[in-house]
């Protein structure tokens, strides 16, 4: 990792003037670089902060909590880079108190070109290159799985989604993938287990959920969603289902072919069950249902908090999930 200097005073000033409902209208404006399921990623339009990607996590109630998260975040980055050998963008983080006195955690990464991110790239890379990209993602995932197999007390999770990978040194004019490596950007959910114990307090991720949903999410989804990231087979199903989500259903049959070729060929020793078409379809339907329901409930919660209770709503929500 190459460390870099960030003007923390300026970042804090940005945070103080942030309008979560309209980041582009904040006192120091921000451009949205991407939405994930949990975080919003933006570029801050100020000298000294441009060229970086900021992921804001306003989830913490106390310094003790944010400190625990920081330790998990740093260890997760270290495991991915040094233990497993993935490439991450140069990264850093910042912690400070917001207007209300609550700790906010910022993940700071070097900003990568938007076309180099997998879910963008798959819209215009030639067909054969999409296959190469999928194969390379599988090879990166394999590093995680191999690592986990070698451990007796440690298990590291990863989110295989195509939107989490960037093609290094990408030149849109002359896309060459064979020699390129990939970088993994999604480190905001640092899931890893030591002797079976999750090191991240996953309850934190329920904080951004509407209070009327928390119990049902905890009961029905949390464990299942978390386990997904430790399971090789489900990771590959998720990777394939992304092609529906990212509006390339035409590529799904071929991508299933690439995945199964990998799982029964060079990765046969892992003994991961191949992926079936119907399995991908039903997974996608369920996943789309969960996340769109979740987003609508969050909007309802935002409406209640802002309009009815005249409170602040600190989270940045996507208007519509593109599917
Ligand atoms: N370093 C970065 N440079 C440019 N864009 C990024 C960077 N990190 C994330 N993004 C964009 O933001 C999206 C969501 O980021 P991610 O870290 O995957 O968050 P989430 O956990 O919410 O999925 C990515 O799919 C990508 O489009
Ligand atoms: Mg992501």
Question: How many C-beta atoms lie closer than 10 Å to residue 74's C-beta?
Answer: 14
pLDDT at 305 over 90: no
Q: What are residue 97's phi and psi, to 5 degrees?
A: -90, 140
**Do 158 and 85 share a domain, yes or no?**
no
89 and 190 within one domain = no
Residue 291 pLDDT greater than 90, yes or no: no
Cα radius of gyration (the chain): 20
**Residue where one domain finishes, among candidates 48, 76, 110:** 110
**Which atom number of ligand 1 is nearest to the Cα of residue 109?**
1
Tell whether 225 is covered by a domain: yes
83 shares its domain with 169: no
291 and 147 share one domain: yes
Query: What's residue 286's pLDDT?
Result: 86
**Contact of 110 with 4, CB cutoff 8 Å:** yes
Count up the domains in the chain and report the number: 2
Question: Are residue 31 and residue 156 in the same domain, yes or no?
Answer: no
Domain with 26 in it: 8-110
pLDDT the model gives residue 9: 92
**Residue 243 belongs to some domain of the structure:** yes
For ligand 1, which residues put their CB under 6 angstroms from it?
33-34, 36-39, 41, 53, 55, 89, 109, 111-112, 117, 163-164, 185-186, 188-189
How many C-alpha atoms does 270 have within 13 Å on its Cβ side?
Answer: 25
Where is the domain boundary, 75, 90, 110? 110
More confident position, 206 or 38: 206
Last residue of a domain, one of 110, 133, 153: 110
**What CATH number should be reported for the domain holding residue 24?**
3.30.200
Pair (126, 54) in one structural domain: no
Is residue 321 situated within a structural domain? no
CA–CA gap between residue 184 and residue 200 (Å, rounded): 19
Structure tokens at 48: 């000294």
CA of 89, nearest ligand number = 1
Q: Please determine, for residue 298, whether its predicted confidence score (pLDDT) is greater than 90.
A: no
- The answer to whether residue 277 scores a pLDDT higher than 50 is yes
**Pair (168, 273) in one structural domain:** yes
Percent of the chain topping pLDDT 70:
98
Residue 318 domain-assigned?
no
Q: What is the rounded (10 degree) CA torsion for 126, 129, 134, 136?
A: -160
| Same domain assignment for residues 143 and 74 | no
Is 212 contained in some domain?
Answer: yes
Q: Is residue 3 part of a domain?
A: no
What phi, psi does 94 have (nearest 5°)? -145, 145
**Does residue 131 sit in the same domain as residue 102?**
no
Ligand 2 center–CA 307 separation, angstroms:
30
Same domain, 230 and 159: yes
Mean pLDDT over all residues of the chain?
A: 91
Note whether 90 and 144 are same-domain residues: no
- Cβ(58)–Cβ(314) below 8 Å: yes
pLDDT value at position 33? 93
Instruction: Tell me if 49 is assigned to some domain.
Output: yes
Q: Higher model confidence: residue 154 or residue 286? A: 154
pLDDT band at 3 (very low <50, low <70, confident <90, very high): low
Is residue 162 pLDDT above 80, yes or no? yes
Q: Say if residues 94 and 6 touch (Cβ distance below 8 Å).
A: yes
Q: What is the mean pLDDT of residues 235-264?
A: 95
**1, pLDDT greater than 50:** no
Higher pLDDT, 195 or 321: 195
Q: Which of 115, 9, 106 is nearest to 52 (CA)?
A: 106
Asked whether residue 2 carries a pLDDT value surpassing 70, the answer given is no
Is 313 inside any structural domain? no
Looking at the structure, tell me whether residues 235 and 288 fall in a common domain.
yes
pLDDT digits (tens, 9 = 90+) for 217-242: 787 777 888 999 999 999 999 999 99
């Amino acid at each position: 990792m190459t460390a870099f200097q960030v003007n923390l005073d300026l970042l804090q000033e940005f945070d103080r003037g942030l309008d979560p409902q309209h980041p582009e209208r904040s006192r120091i404006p921000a451009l949205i670089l991407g939405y994930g399921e949990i975080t919003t990623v933006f570029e801050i339009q100020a000298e000294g902060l441009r060229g970086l990607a900021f992921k804001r996590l306003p989830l913490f109630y106390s310094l003790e909590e944010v400190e625990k998260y920081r330790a998990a975040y740093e260890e997760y980055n270290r495991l991915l880079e040094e233990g497993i050998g993935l490439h991450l963008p140069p990264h850093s983080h910042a912690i400070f108190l917001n207007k209300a006195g609550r700790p906010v955690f910022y993940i700071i990464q070097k900003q990568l070109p938007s076309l180099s991110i997998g879910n963008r790239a798959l819209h215009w890379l030639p067909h054969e290159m999409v296959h190469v990209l999928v194969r390379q993602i599988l090879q990166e995932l394999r590093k995680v799985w191999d690592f986990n197999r070698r451990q007796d007390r440690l298990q590291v999770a990863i989110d295989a989604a195509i939107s989490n990978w960037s093609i290094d040194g990408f030149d849109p004019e002359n896309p060459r993938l064979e020699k390129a490596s990939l970088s993994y950007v999604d480190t905001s959910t640092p899931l890893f287990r030591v002797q079976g114990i999750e090191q991240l307090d996953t309850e934190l991720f329920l904080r951004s959920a509407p209070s009327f949903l928390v119990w049902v999410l905890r009961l029905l989804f949390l464990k299942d969603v978390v386990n997904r990231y430790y399971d090789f087979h489900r990771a590959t199903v998720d990777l394939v289902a992304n092609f529906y989500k990212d509006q390339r259903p035409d590529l799904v049959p071929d991508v299933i072919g690439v995945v199964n070729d990998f799982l029964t060929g060079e990765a046969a020793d892992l003994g991961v069950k191949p992926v079936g078409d119907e399995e991908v379809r039903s997974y996608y339907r369920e996943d789309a249902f969960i996340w769109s329901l979740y987003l609508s409930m969050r909007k309802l919660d935002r409406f209640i908090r802002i309009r009815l209770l005249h409170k602040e709503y600190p989270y940045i929500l996507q208007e519509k999930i593109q599917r």
